[in-house]
Chain A
């Protein structure tokens, strides 16, 4: 089964979700919603789990500050390179350096 890859997702998200000046939890939530809607549309289970984890990540009280500096590419890198759990996202953000 072909999964939606990062390039495809980045192109789709850049076209549908306007990028704010700062990456905020609301923006992450919006991304998660968009990814979730896309995942339902194309019936991609891997994408669904990414969306779910991103949404939970955005709902956390302490979204790591470094996340605010991350460009969309890095966020998507994170989504696709780590196992999509909130803990893993936290860890990724903690270790990420611009």
Chain B
């Protein structure tokens, strides 16, 4: 179930997942997390969004342990706050949600993010229509060929090239360009962190 594909980008919510048994092995990042059905679906949708990019592989086994492998593990880590402290138990994640009601867990205190307002009777057609994003990350990955590799420099240069080729001055949308630029900037920051 891909929630992110259905949500509009204006619906990006931030909430914390309580992670357990988080560890990094040669096979990738493994973790379990607690949360209700809505939280589970939200994370699942988020991860499936990225797995379509072939940047990383994520799978969940019967015991509920998630495994993330590939370069995408590094790619999604900016969305996990403070990835240097992967052993911390609470990690904030950005998830797009529209159809679920996620929880916000901060220091074991649970907040329910209010549901979207129900459609009024005046505009039922508009409420029924699926939201069309002007640009989605999947689209970004279909525009350019990101090499499947663990070489950070190759990935970084691919993003840099993509941001050059998709500049608003050249007739592309600002959102496209910002997406690639943000990915490139993040790759730079990631490389800088690794050097230290």
A contact residues vs B (CB 8 Å cutoff): 2, 4, 7-8, 11-12, 38, 41-44
A13 CA / B167 CA spacing, docked (Å) = 13
- Contact indicator A7/B164 (Cβ below 8 Å): no
Interface size classification for chain B:
10 to 19
List 6 A-B pairs, minimum CB-CB distance, nearest first: A42-B161, A43-B157, A42-B157, A8-B164, A42-B160, A11-B169
> What is the distance, in angstroms, from A36's C-beta to the closest C-beta of chain B?
14
- Taking the complex as formed, is B132 at the interface, i.e. its CB lies under 8 A from any CB of chain A? no
A38 CA / B163 CA spacing, docked (Å) = 12
- Taking the complex as formed, is B178 at the interface, i.e. its CB lies under 8 A from any CB of chain A? no
> What is the distance, in angstroms, from B137's C-beta to the closest C-beta of chain A?
19
B contact residues vs A (CB 8 Å cutoff): 144, 153-154, 157, 160-161, 164-165, 167, 169-170
A11 CA / B154 CA spacing, docked (Å) = 23
A85 CA / B157 CA spacing, docked (Å) = 26
> What is the distance, in angstroms, from A53's C-beta to the closest C-beta of chain B?
21
- Contact indicator B164/A12 (Cβ below 8 Å): yes
Neighbour of B161 across the interface among A2, A7, A11, CB < 8 A: A2
- Contact indicator A11/B167 (Cβ below 8 Å): yes
A44 CA / B157 CA spacing, docked (Å) = 9
Residues of A within 8 A of B157 (CB): 41-43
